Amino acid sequence: MKAHYQIVIIGAGTAGIMTAAQLLKKDKSLDIVIIDPAEMHYYQPAWTLVGAGTYDFAKTAKSMRDLIPKGVEWLQDSVTEFFPEEHKIETQKGVKISYDYLVVAPGLVNDLSLIEGLEEAVKKGIVCSNYIDPKYTWECLKNFKGGNAVFTQPTTPIKCGGAPQKIMYLAADYFRRNGLDKKSNVVFATPGTVIFGVKRIADTLMKVIHRYNVHFKPFYAPVKIDADKKIVYFKSVAPDDNNCIVNEGNVLGEKQQGNSLIEMPFDLLHLAPPQTAPKFVKESVLVNEAGWLDVDINSLQHKKYPNIFGIGDVAALPTAKTGAAIRKQAPVVVDNILKLIKGKTADNKSYQGYSSCPLVTGYGKMVLAEFNYKNEFTPDPKLKMMLIGDSSKEHWRLWLLKKYMLPYLYWHKMMKGEDV
């Protein structure tokens, strides 16, 4: 390990490894170090399928050592502090490393403390979450005998915002296939106003909601879980003139307290935990008021420190936090760093917020939501040609893309810095 590197990359997730691999493909002489403490790297998009019993968890993991690009040094340590004025970072082992250019890509972290009782409920096995342990989600689905199956998500940004509803659709399909649908109430409760922000996709998903007889509850923000009584509490975030919360004949057994607090009993509860930037980022001078890395949304360059770039889930970008977004972000970051190295301006501002959410709607069915900052439906021309059809509609070909093609492309193309 050296005291100075030309390029320091924090995080060996999708963003960090892709950026390093693409940089080296452009210039093998670059001096790069990746800092990350983890032994294993996980292909987390497949955890939705693991939670539904249709993907092997072991296949989502690979040794970090095998994925770090050859020619890149790996420092197995954690960053604890930034010194951007000095162009330095400090690690948990007390090592200070200086850099010419810094790429901040540590992803985000779960913060169970932001919902009262959540940590206890997870420890007791009362709540399951594909974000925490997808294998346990599958156990919960298999052991479900009927009643309220509640799926919800927090008010914070989360990685792959569509994931909480994907497992809900798969669960509803599983219940139907196993004769549980007539004695089950499937609930999707979200703080959001619609099922999905892209209208064309939302129109398709509402048909799926009706097909499974899902109780769709917009404006529901989870605030507390009583693990012993198996009750989840929601705060209504609906406009003031919409105080009629408990309805639908109240088959769910909801109780309303005042105008905004609702309690709902559950027999199964799947929750995407609240998520934030890692502590060392959140408490640094590099973030915006919301605690995310303050970068230009088109160039990914930091707004105050021009030799710092943010990429992936940690970046303050008004689009979904997905691996597909990183696929479009990485070439922009790479191009801008190479321009700075050559003494030019980092003027590549071509990232327009592209993200993609493969929305599994049942076993063997999927919709592919592709969109930009304006929430416009923006299907990738390559995929459109390959899949032959409208990806805003359910299709079995899209399921094959999710289960087989995307994992292959991830491990064999994206992680090696190849254009996909």
Give the DSSP letter of residue 293.
B
Q: How many residues are recorded in the chain?
A: 420
Both tokens of residue 288? 């915006």
Three-state DSSP at 26 gives helix
**143-157, 211-225, 302-316, 380-394: least confidently modelled range:** 380-394
Please state, in angstroms and rounded to a whole number, the distance separating the CA atoms of residues 227 and 124.
8
Q: What percent of the chain has pLDDT over 90?
A: 92
Q: How far is the CA of 129 from the CAs of 29, 43, 183, 268, 312, in angstroms?
A: 43, 16, 23, 11, 22
Question: Do the Cβ atoms of 370 and 377 come closer than 8 Å?
Answer: yes
**pLDDT band for position 242 (cuts 50, 70, 90):** low
Higher pLDDT, residue 386 or 393: 393
Task: For Cα atoms 324, 46, 124, give the angle at the middle one, nearest 5 degrees.
Answer: 120
* Predicted model pTM: 0.96
What is the distance of C-alpha 34 from the center of its chain? Answer: 21
Please give the pLDDT value at position 380.
Answer: 79
Question: Do the Cβ atoms of 172 and 360 come closer than 8 Å?
Answer: no
Single out the catalytic residue among 128, 140, 160, 244. Answer: 160
Please give the pLDDT value at position 249.
Answer: 72
Can you list the domains of the chain with their CATH numbers? 4-108+277-350 (3.50.50.60), 118-274 (3.50.50.60)
Helices 134-143 & 163-177 angle (0-180, nearest 10): 30
**pLDDT band for position 245 (cuts 50, 70, 90):** low
**216-230, 288-302, 344-358, 383-397: least confidently modelled range:** 383-397
* Positive or negative torsion for Cα 382, 325, 310, 8: negative
Active site residue 160: yes
390 CB contacts (<8 Å, ≥6 apart)?
A: none
Please give the pLDDT value at position 247.
Answer: 62
For the chain, give me the number of helices (H) and strands (E)? 12, 21
Active site residue 357: yes
Over residues 69-84, mean pLDDT: 98
Please give the pLDDT value at position 389.
Answer: 76
Nearest Cα residue to 303 out of 325, 326, 286: 286
Give the number of other CB atoms < 10 A from CB of residue 338: 18
Question: Does 412 score more than 70 pLDDT?
Answer: yes
**Residue 160: how many CA atoms within 13 Å on its side-chain side?**
21
